[in-house]
Amino acid sequence: MKLCFVVHRYAPFPGGSEYYVQWMAEECVRRGHDVTVFTGKHGGDLNGVRVTSDGIIFDDPFDLIVVHGGDVYIQNAVLSAIPRLTSPVLYLIIKPSNSQVCQLAMNYAAAIGCSTREDWDHAKHYDVLARSFTVRHGIDSQRRTGIRGAFRAKYDISPTVRLFVSCGGYWAHKRMRELAQTFERAQLDNALLVTTGYDNSMNLMPTPSSCVRPLMLEDEQDVANAIADANVYIMNSSEEGFGLVLLECLLNQTPWIARNIAGARVLQPYGTVYETESELEGILKSYTVNCEQLLAGYQYVRSTHLIGNTVDDILAVANHKKTK
């Protein structure tokens, strides 16, 4: 099968979108498919995936073009061209948007990919449920399994400290500064919050303190190790496409606390959710680990949310469209 993925940046650049599309593309290659990634920034062909910024590729037919979200320049270029493309397009909503280009995608894409309750509500709003399919978010279990003890050793963090971790770029929607302020107000004994990001261009990195340590991390193994070493992971984002870090927590059997959005709503039976910063502060003060919940979450992610599950869903859409 000939497949094309569309994303604004691709490996070796860091970031959730970049990693996710790389995992999908390489899993398809492992299964013997012909895979192209159309993107804006990249380092060239990688691990059997053809990577290009040349839009002329769309003169060639694909069995399926998979667009990772919208409201980003590369994705928008493809979404706005849907009526003129001869290949079927699977539009992965990622984060629901009512922008003009995303409305065009909802109306004209051959298939709509939904992963969260927000996605399904969006599909219902646009009356496209008949063209909507489940495409589960998944992670690469080999790349995202951390080495316990490695992060604490590398960054000189005592094994006896209660380590709270939050990862991602220092963007406004990640709410890292607000998280740091909430953590400081909680005044936990023998506890440290480590925030990690790969970009601080918006100057939103928290201010270091005796209980808050912000880091810049680009190495994905460092991030996996941080999650594996954490006593608790916190996702304080105001919005997410899914929140792949929560799947990584379950894979590494790390307890998580998250705002009740996107993937946290899907994975709620396996973690702790909240609505407000004050509610988070109360949870931090009284938090205890539920070992049965951790084991159940690990089993759940291993069976339903690995990257192979994602590709299974995408290939099912491609086969469905070929039989039409």
**What residues form DSSP beta bridges with 4?**
36, 65
Q: How far apart are the first and last CA of the chain?
A: 16
Write down the domain spans for the chain.
2-138+306-322, 150-304
- AA identity, residue 236: N
**What residues form DSSP beta bridges with 163?**
192
Q: Which residue has the tokens 């918006």?
A: 202
Q: What is the CATH number of domain 150-304?
A: 3.40.50.2000
Hey, how many other C-beta atoms are within 10 angstroms of the C-beta on 183?
25
One digit per residue, the tens of pLDDT, for the chain of length 324 reads 999 999 999 999 988 999 999 999 999 999 999 999 999 999 999 999 999 999 887 888 999 999 999 999 999 999 999 999 999 999 999 999 999 999 999 999 999 999 999 999 999 999 999 999 999 999 999 999 999 999 999 999 999 999 999 998 899 999 999 999 999 999 999 999 999 999 999 999 999 999 999 999 988 899 999 999 999 999 999 999 999 999 999 999 999 999 999 999 999 999 999 999 999 999 999 999 999 999 999 999 999 999 999 999 999 999 986 665
Q: Do domains 2-138+306-322 and 150-304 have the same CATH topology?
A: yes
Please check whether the domain covering 2-138+306-322 is classified as CATH 3.40.50.2000: yes
Rounded distance between C-alpha atoms, residue 296 and residue 56, angstroms: 47
Task: Report the sign of the C-alpha dihedral through residues 19, 44, 47, 309, in that order.
Answer: positive
Rounded distance between C-alpha atoms, residue 286 and residue 161, angstroms: 17
Those residues whose C-beta lies under 8 Å from the C-beta of residue 301, and which sit 6 or more positions away, are 139, 247, 250, 251
Rounded distance between C-alpha atoms, residue 59 and residue 36, angstroms: 13
User: Helix (H, G, I), strand (E, B), or coil: what is residue 258?
Assistant: strand
